[in-house]
A and B are shown apart, each in its own frame.
Chain A
Amino acid sequence: MGLEHAFGDSALTTTIDSAINWCRKNSVWPMPLGISCCGIEMMAFAMPKFDVARFGSEVFRFSPRQSDLLLVAGTTTYKMATVVRKIYDQMPDPKWVIAMGACTSSGGMYRTYSVVQGIDQFLPVDVYVAGCPPRPDNLLHALMMIQEKIQRGESRSTPMTVAAERLEQQQLLQIQGVNN
């Protein structure tokens, strides 16, 4: 997605990509958006017993500028949706999103007037984590899935390969085509 994409997919550029992805995979800095009970399980996932430091992502950055993974943990209400969306936008590319817990992924047990039924209504989500709240080891599994996704060089929010970039250009043209 950097300069090497200008040369297209050759033996050299893809190896650079996989080398960079390997570095990214082992140093995912999460942005912990602990909203409700899942936030407590997220804290437990970072503490000594389940110890996320083994995967290189114990650095919980609370500012979106220095994080790659948006870990939305908790029931997202309509009022909170604008905040989550703003923080997602302010994160540098490439970025990934984990929707932790049933409430975040689908509104969970709160079918009420103030709860957004799943954050994928306003965010592209990479991994949904089941459970209310998901056990910390379940969350570690989600982190491993994100790491595999990074190694494969995929992300729902940033086109990481030349093909994905070309696809996105077409979609943009299509939208402009429709608009004017």
Chain B
Amino acid sequence: MLTTIIESLRTRFPQSVLEVNEFRGETTVRVRKDDIVPVCTFLRDDPAASFDYCSDVCGADAYTPEERFQVIYNLYSMTHRHRIRLKVSVDESHPHCPSVTAVWPGAEWPERETYDMFGVVFDGHPDLRRMYMPEDFAYHPLRKDFPMMGIPDSIPLPRK
């Protein structure tokens, strides 16, 4: 239903908007990885869209040989009160994705959490460290190939 915004997006970034689909009244726009930051800056500054509230940045593991990881941005506009979702897919061989902390400072911690859980490195992130797991943990737990019960003594326990 955000047709005007999608049109203006297509005109300004013709080659970067890959696919738009609707489900349950929500619009999801798949964007090319390299120009996610210009698209986000446009969506934030354009008066018709004005998505000034980055509600959430999260990762997902599609577990497909190529384009395995997805980074999903749920955006919300305070003035127009509508929502949009941007999706970027990142390949496992080179898990890097530009960071949007320049556009929304609030995306800093969700990106750190996505790095911690999936291993997607965000270039340009001010302080990319693990969010939840201890620093010496060598895996990324939310990947589909990581067992739910964890790997025995991957994190050391104090002696009895």
Contacts and interface: CB of A to CB of B under 8 A. Distances in A.
Any A–B CB pair closer than 8 Å? yes
Contact of A111 (B149, B154, B156): B149
A113 B147 contact: yes
Contacts of A82: 158
Interface residues of B, number: 17
Given A113-B141, A114-B133, A114-B141, A121 B150 contact: no
A123 B141 CA distance: 27
A86 B97 CA distance: 39
Given A81-B158, A113-B146, A113-B154, 11 more contacts: A78-B134, A78-B156, A78-B157, A82-B158, A86-B158, A112-B149, A113-B147, A113-B151, A114-B150, A121-B157, A122-B159
Contacts of A78: 134, 155-157
B160 interface: yes
Contacts of B155: 78-79, 114
Closest 8 CB pairs of A and B: A113-B150, A85-B158, A78-B155, A122-B158, A79-B134, A113-B141, A122-B157, A82-B158
Contacts of A85: 158
Contact of B160 (A86, A116, A121): A121
Nearest to B141: A113
Give the one of A82, A113, A116, A123 with max B CB within 10 A. Answer: A113
Contacts of A81: 157-158
A174 to B, nearest CB: 16
Interface in B117-160: 132-134, 141, 146-151, 154-160
Interface of A: 78-79, 81-82, 85-86, 111-114, 116, 121-124
Interface string B8-46: 000000000000000000000000000000000000000
A113 B134 contact: no
Contacts of B133: 79, 114
Nearest to A83: B158
Contacts of A113: 141, 146-151, 154
19 contacts: A78-B155, A79-B134, A79-B155, A82-B158, A111-B149, A112-B148, A112-B149, A112-B150, A113-B141, A113-B146, A113-B149, A113-B150, A113-B154, A114-B133, A114-B141, A122-B157, A122-B158, A122-B159, A122-B160
